[in-house]
Amino acid sequence: MNVYAIRAIYIFEMARTGRTLMQSIASPILSTSLYFVVFGAAIGSRMGEIDGISYGAFIIPGLLMLSLLSESISNASFGIYFPKFTGTIYEVLSAPVSYIEIVLGYVGAAATKSIILGTLILATARLFVDYEIAHPLWMMAFLLLTAVTFSLFGFIIGIWADDFQKLQIVPLMVVTPLTFLGGTFYSIDMLPQLWQQITLFNPVVYLVSGFRWSFYGVADVSMGISVGMTLVFLVLCLTTVWWIFKTGYRLKT
């Protein structure tokens, strides 16, 4: 294992975050804070409890997951796409560095940024809403698992995309709508029976539900199923990355 190569890629990607703090850190925190102000403090104070939890506290896991998914994908996809765009990816591919080390460097940096952002959003939420974390270890484990999984997904998108517009298609037109429809602002038990069954085909439901369980011990779907679905998606992403480097898909052309 070439630790020096992993560290070099990791440090370079983390340094890019330091140069773009407003875009990478401040903007997502500000956007999420507005959700807390509007839905948590303003609207939440006029709504009843859901599963014995105040509405402002109920939406925290969903809003955190919304930021976590979008930022994980964005950081990882841009991190690998930009070297492709500038042509510097060939220097990495020709260096004595395995694809495992390349993935560890890029995906590790993207996941680290997402975890830092998630921690800051949790701290910011405390300014607007009172909440408790019933299972902190499970919460951190689920946060880490989600960040790594969707950073891998973003890495795949960055390799697939051949222009900057395609980098935004999946996050904006697929992931964000699925997150809003995945129980971020409501419990799926509040839906009619038919829509409850349809909603279970939304993979984000399992992420939001599992994350909410780690906070309050309540969930729309059992924690075991939530973790299992996330692990299945992680395996699919790992398999896809292996295939990309094995075939050179959009890397060697």
The predicted-structure confidence for 165-201, as pLDDT tens digits, reads as follows 888 888 888 888 898 888 888 888 888 888 888 898 9
**Res 135: pLDDT:** 93
SS3 186: coil
Give the residue among 184, 249, 244 at the shortest CA–CA distance from 220. 184
The predicted-structure confidence for 105-120, as pLDDT tens digits, reads as follows 999 999 999 999 999 9
Residue scoring higher pLDDT (232 or 94)? 232
The predicted-structure confidence for 46-82, as pLDDT tens digits, reads as follows 777 888 888 888 989 998 998 999 989 999 999 999 8
Which residues make beta-bridge pairs with 53?
50
Residue 48 φ/ψ, nearest 5 degrees: -80, 180
Buried b (16+ CB within 10 A) or exposed e, 138-160: bbeebbebbbbbbbbbbbbbbbb
Residue scoring higher pLDDT (210 or 17)? 210
Give the residue among 85, 156, 72, 183 at the shortest CA–CA distance from 118. 72
Report percent pLDDT > 70 for the chain. 97
The predicted-structure confidence for 121-145, as pLDDT tens digits, reads as follows 999 988 888 888 999 999 999 999 9
- CA dihedral sign, ordered 79, 26, 174, 66: positive
Amino acid type, 178: L
CA-to-CA distance for 247 and 54, rounded, in angstroms? 51
Residue scoring higher pLDDT (92 or 18)? 92
Report percent pLDDT > 90 for the chain. 41
Angstrom CA distances, 189 to 58, 89, 174, 215, stand at 14, 48, 23, 18
The predicted-structure confidence for 220-234, as pLDDT tens digits, reads as follows 898 889 999 999 999
Question: pLDDT grade, residue 42 (50/70/90)?
Answer: low
**Res 206: pLDDT:** 92
